[in-house]
Structure 1
């Protein structure tokens, strides 16, 4: 005897029912088919009944929808010539339903007993229609009213089964009545005195399990709209995969913590009988699905699955009068039990000063009232505080039989959550050590599930979600590198970079599944306005794990928003020098927030584009060395300009060339005035451990005084053109000495300067070519011969590669 249960989605319409019929007909054994109501009908019945009880005449519109759904299915499944008898029966039942609803309307009430009768129509109608569809196909099929076989008490809404009577009735019925196919309504039962009752949440699964247990079936098949039990909710965790085999104990834990494909009630009857359960997909019948088994599993998987429950209220009862007082816990949970309030999570500190527990959100207000009433005396005398209620919570849990035999599982769980700024409000781990659960903010639940899934199921690959501000010169090259290197990173470094959001000064564009190159090209046409903190707010709303903000701009407003990103545990990679060269207070704040919220803050490209200058200083300082002196050419753009300027063409034309090739800042005045070099030297001094401010660095400008008055780039170029004689004089002076012009940054003995110098052929800076940078570090260890770093220090390509390298550093830390 095969026992199959089909859920509401599986029987939602005629097309889906035909799928179910085909699955049943593929079985060679006699088959019992337990069916749910047509998809959505139970909710609609509840909604309609409530409207009627509130004397809202619109209930008739809902009733008409219910009526039409069932009549449409009959007409689609049964040919016209065979419809009369089926339609007559269905219409008779619908008329009975309409009469009950009218009664609710006239009386203005809806009792638990009436609810059960009204809600039962979903399964009673669907099972009759499906049985008739089998009969039309010449199948040896009979419709079995489940109330005749499953007997309960009169606890309406969640009736308790009398298993002794029920098992005997089921065994007797199927022993004497031999057919190929039996169709039964799930969810519906009958009390011993003949009243219709229902079996509560998951009632159809429960019905199938009751029948399977009574008949000692070899297994039970639950057919639904997913291909089994997943490692996590596949709607939330895209990387979730089907668990091919899972123990009953693990399945019970997952179902308790919200795995909606399975209900605990469906496991209880078959667990003692050692009946296996298959979870299969009606829409992919050839998929293996999941096997829930009593047999021991021989794999070494530590964590079998991750689940969560939303809409949780965390409640805390605490006070000095609880310490050492017997019976507090008994009184607390006894009063909740009397109110039929289910406690889904409990933890208590060893100090006995407090008890923390969780209930569903709908029970929170009632629980608060009865607890405060129970402990009114203690509250009045200050021995116990009124119960504290925190709404908007979710429980996340990792489940696995092997958790108990492996050390460090909880540490790995909490570390993964902590790195992503997911605050843990309460923790519980049962004595069986089969699950570890934590209460977190509900807004963080999606991120938490993805973080934990990555930690326990995707350890070889880490996913980094990028949000890129600035997609022009440098930003465009960066994105190009990300997409070009995607396959290499996944294969060799086990890193998966996804560009989730991009923005320019006017528009921003997001896609939680990732943006491809073609989508980014449409930013200006398909994006939404970029205003204020809109980009940050969208990142916060998405709340994705391993989020990294990449700033490719030179915008001050963006730089001054970094604190907000770090406070939300969003890592930052930036080539924007403004943040690290602003006030020392802000610089230190960013460093502090980076550590506090476990959010990386990397800015290697602030100095030297792709050269490892900042990283070198960090390593020197970390190893106990101290920087005493810095000599550097830190502007690749200025070096390019003075290497190109030989008097054959005006200085202004060389500057324009440098701008066109992407070597200068968008406004070349920042480079020419020495502001850019000043910022870089300030950053190097700070990274070396010196608390310098901007005012501590003196800049000796080589520009004519008129340049200080420029308002825009066009005005700058006009002044430079008119002042060609000034620049020609600087060049002639250097040529007479056999020297070359270099803008040099110096830091020594507490003095820091930026100035144009003419260096002769003996100087290390003389041979600098093109856009090269060079830095000489004199330290406690490098006294006579400095540590030298030299290479290309400007250009979109090398700057983008430096940004890309910082992103990879973050990914490697997460891996």
Structure 2
């Protein structure tokens, strides 16, 4: 015999019930069936709501009763031909009248007991089972309806009755033998006590009904039909890449169910487990899908079978010096909670015995404090024990898998993955079976935690990186082009899925968790909402996505000012913007500290030399124990371009304009020509070399007349035209000495300076063309012959490629 159970969504409409009938018809070709059904989806809640409103003297319960009646009458009319409807409609009407009578009684009494609630909610299953039984018979499938209250005997614990299996099993066996029916339809969830008063089996009661029947008749299998194609590796509402688990052990299924997997409930498994009856989870709306089979032994070779979670958790901590070495504290704590009907979800205790911590449903935390503080009143008053401490807004995330016991390092991978994403673990628990590792995290982090762990243990093909990019100017556009061009390469070769979630410029901002289409980003951004930096940052923090990277492709000081708030939320920062790294030393050190403390990369390679590996090479020297004594550098691609192209034959202003048009300058070229940009760069290199230095300590030998520093950018160009003789004289003097003009940054003996210099042909900086940059590092290891990094140091394309490289470094943290 086979037992089929169909849930509320499978019974939710006439169309769904027809699918149920098709499945039943196909199964009947092979063996006889027990068919267990839940109430139509939402009906149980409606019935409870009716009772609550009636008890509160709210006559609107009558409107809800009409909804229930109309819904079931409509289902009958859609399923059964008109000429055969009358008897079924009469039965539905009879049940609805009884519901109304009960609610009217509750209304008159202004009170509803647990016994009355059980009676009230039982009608959901009575209605649905009556309707499908009639529909099957009128479809030519002979079915016999049997009231579950006559088969399943329980105690009088209304709302969650305990089954008397000895009596129940015998009643089921006797009925099956006497009925000799091919198909028996039974309402789930409901049962009866010794006095034949209606009881219910608690949460997941219809599943439990099916399991009880399956165990009693030694069924060949139990099939639970729902609206998903089996148990999944994680909640698909949270994890887009969640996968169906084809096979799972009873023990694993119980662990996952206990920790929030709603497909099946723990009590359901007990009866079939004892009889080793395979239990299938199948999809009514995709009947050909394989589903999940729960068996005595799982065939899965995966180390981790699934990831689940429990929300709305509170941690209760009892601690005090008076607990050390004194037996009985734990038992008194658990006894106090048990007597108050408070279930303990998780337990952890330090070896010092100074404290014990348990997790309970957050809704019961207040009651727990009352009973525990009362139980330890003497110890609290005598300062031996502290009053019970409560921490709320927590969740549990759990890894489940039978194979964990055979592999070392699983907990290390779990905690490391969570730590890399800034998810703090408040408590840890692991059973001696090594089948479950549980971690308590902030409720705000649980979705992120589940995604992080799923990626770590299941998504071996790729890792998703979520980018939030600010700045869509020359460099920003090139970066987006490069990301678009390399998407397939990154997925195939580096197993990275780069997801551009946020995009903003000075005018508009756009956020889409599903990813912004890089083929249409300009149109999408143009039609997006008004830009608001703080709102953009708060949206990033609130979303709390795993592997998040904030990318600043601007020169904006306000944007540099938000780095700290992002780093302390474990969001990596990649900055083309030099403002932060060249700001006050205290701010620079703060950002570095936050990056280290919260395991969030703060990368700014393009601050010096665009795409050249200057900062990275310097960091490698320092990390390997070398020490920098001296640096000489040409760090402005703009100035190098200008002085390589200016020979007095055309105006200096024209050469500068060409540099700006070709994308080598800052938006305001004076930042480059004044030397301020170069000062920032040598300051950043000095700091990265371990020197504590402020901007004011760097000397600057500038060449721009004061008149060029006044007014707007347009005024700047006009002033340069008027000062052409000044620039020509600078050039002529260097030319007369057979030298080239180079704006040089230098560091030696803890001091730094920048300025225009005459470079002779034999100097290392002489042969530097176009927009190239060069840095010479003199260190303990490179004393006579410096380490040289040289190449293109300006331009949107190479700068974007440097930002891209930093993004990849952050992604692979």
Identify the TM-score tier after normalising by the shorter chain. over 0.9
Question: Residue 131 of structure 2 corresponds to which residue in structure 1?
Answer: 129
Shift of 1:296: 5.3
Question: Residue 410 of structure 2 corresponds to which residue in structure 1?
Answer: 409
Shift of 1:221: 0.5
Question: Residue 663 of structure 1 corresponds to which residue in structure 2?
Answer: 664
Which of these residues, 277, 280, 286, is aligned with residue 279 of structure 2? 277
**CA–CA distance in structure 2, aligned partners of residues 337 and 63 of structure 1:** 38
Change in 2 beyond 3 A, CA 1:262/1:613? same
Is 1:165 matched up with 2:185? no
Question: Residue 76 of structure 1 corresponds to which residue in structure 2?
Answer: 78
Does the CA-based 8 Å contact 2:122-2:200 persist in structure 1? yes
CA shift digits 1:6-52 (9 cap, x unpaired): 11111111111111111111111222111111111111211221111
For residues 46-125 of structure 1, what are the structure 2 equivalents within 5 Å?
Answer: 46-125=48-127
Shift of 1:728: 2.1
**CA–CA distance in structure 2, aligned partners of residues 529 and 180 of structure 1:** 66
**CA–CA distance in structure 2, aligned partners of residues 770 and 121 of structure 1:** 85
Change in 2 beyond 3 A, CA 1:502/1:340? same
Shift of 1:649: 2.9
Question: Residue 469 of structure 1 corresponds to which residue in structure 2?
Answer: 470
Does the CA-based 8 Å contact 1:226-1:280 persist in structure 2? yes
Q: Secondary structure of the equivalent of 1:9?
A: coil
Question: Residue 731 of structure 2 corresponds to which residue in structure 1?
Answer: 731
The RMSD of aligned alpha carbons is 1.4
Change in 2 beyond 3 A, CA 1:609/1:336? same
For residues 760-799 of structure 1, what are the structure 2 equivalents within 5 Å?
Answer: 760-799=760-799
**CA–CA distance in structure 2, aligned partners of residues 181 and 470 of structure 1:** 67
Q: Secondary structure of the equivalent of 1:207?
A: helix
Q: Secondary structure of the equivalent of 2:626?
A: coil
Question: Residue 564 of structure 2 corresponds to which residue in structure 1?
Answer: 563
Does the CA-based 8 Å contact 1:508-1:523 persist in structure 2? no
Does the CA-based 8 Å contact 2:303-2:404 persist in structure 1? yes
Shift of 1:739: 2.6
Does the CA-based 8 Å contact 1:139-1:180 persist in structure 2? no
Shift of 1:532: 4.2
Shift of 1:217: 0.7
CA shift digits 1:602-653 (9 cap, x unpaired): 1111100000001111111122221111111101111112222233332222
**CA–CA distance in structure 1, aligned partners of residues 624 and 387 of structure 2:** 54
**CA–CA distance in structure 1, aligned partners of residues 749 and 140 of structure 2:** 100
Question: Residue 267 of structure 1 corresponds to which residue in structure 2?
Answer: 269
Does the CA-based 8 Å contact 2:568-2:598 persist in structure 1? yes
Shift of 1:766: 2.5
**Relative to structure 2, which stretch is displaced further, 523-532 or 334-343?**
523-532
**Relative to structure 2, which stretch is displaced further, 528-537 or 45-54?**
528-537
Shift of 1:788: 1.1
Question: Residue 629 of structure 2 corresponds to which residue in structure 1?
Answer: 628
**CA–CA distance in structure 2, aligned partners of residues 628 and 329 of structure 1:** 62
For residues 379-394 of structure 1, what are the structure 2 equivalents within 5 Å?
Answer: 379-394=380-395
TM-score by length of 2: 0.98
Does the CA-based 8 Å contact 2:471-2:552 persist in structure 1? yes
Which of these residues, 145, 149, 161, is aligned with residue 151 of structure 2? 149
**CA–CA distance in structure 1, aligned partners of residues 219 and 493 of structure 2:** 49
Question: Residue 751 of structure 1 corresponds to which residue in structure 2?
Answer: 751
For residues 198-597 of structure 1, what are the structure 2 equivalents within 5 Å?
Answer: 198-295=200-297, 297=299, 299-597=300-598
For residues 176-215 of structure 1, what are the structure 2 equivalents within 5 Å?
Answer: 176-215=178-217
Shift of 1:523: 4.4
TM-score by length of 1: 0.98
Q: Secondary structure of the equivalent of 2:347?
A: strand
**CA–CA distance in structure 2, aligned partners of residues 413 and 595 of structure 1:** 20
CA shift digits 1:366-411 (9 cap, x unpaired): 1111111222222121122111111111011111112222222111
CA shift digits 1:468-497 (9 cap, x unpaired): 111221111112111211111111111221
CA shift digits 1:122-178 (9 cap, x unpaired): 111011111111111011112111111111111100011111111111111112213
Shift of 1:518: 4.3
**CA–CA distance in structure 2, aligned partners of residues 525 and 473 of structure 1:** 17
Shift of 1:326: 2.2
Q: Secondary structure of the equivalent of 1:151?
A: coil
Question: Residue 42 of structure 1 corresponds to which residue in structure 2?
Answer: 44
Does the CA-based 8 Å contact 2:318-2:389 persist in structure 1? yes
For residues 714-725 of structure 1, what are the structure 2 equivalents within 5 Å?
Answer: 714-725=714-725
**CA–CA distance in structure 1, aligned partners of residues 192 and 571 of structure 2:** 56
Identify unmatched segments of 5+ residues in structure 1: none
Shift of 1:301: 2.0
Change in 2 beyond 3 A, CA 1:252/1:616? same
Does the CA-based 8 Å contact 1:503-1:523 persist in structure 2? no
Does the CA-based 8 Å contact 2:734-2:740 persist in structure 1? yes
**Relative to structure 2, which stretch is displaced further, 730-739 or 165-174?**
730-739
**CA–CA distance in structure 2, aligned partners of residues 768 and 215 of structure 1:** 89
Does the CA-based 8 Å contact 1:470-1:552 persist in structure 2? yes
Shift of 1:428: 0.8
Shift of 1:667: 1.1
Q: Secondary structure of the equivalent of 2:86?
A: helix
**CA–CA distance in structure 2, aligned partners of residues 123 and 336 of structure 1:** 34
Q: Secondary structure of the equivalent of 1:656?
A: helix
Q: Secondary structure of the equivalent of 1:271?
A: helix
For residues 588-627 of structure 1, what are the structure 2 equivalents within 5 Å?
Answer: 588-627=589-628
Question: Residue 652 of structure 2 corresponds to which residue in structure 1?
Answer: 651
**CA–CA distance in structure 2, aligned partners of residues 622 and 321 of structure 1:** 48
Shift of 1:765: 2.4
Q: Secondary structure of the equivalent of 1:91?
A: helix
**CA–CA distance in structure 2, aligned partners of residues 803 and 78 of structure 1:** 67
Does the CA-based 8 Å contact 1:507-1:523 persist in structure 2? no
Does the CA-based 8 Å contact 2:702-2:755 persist in structure 1? yes
**CA–CA distance in structure 1, aligned partners of residues 696 and 430 of structure 2:** 56
**Relative to structure 2, which stretch is displaced further, 562-571 or 25-34?**
25-34
**CA–CA distance in structure 1, aligned partners of residues 486 and 81 of structure 2:** 59
Q: Secondary structure of the equivalent of 1:343?
A: coil
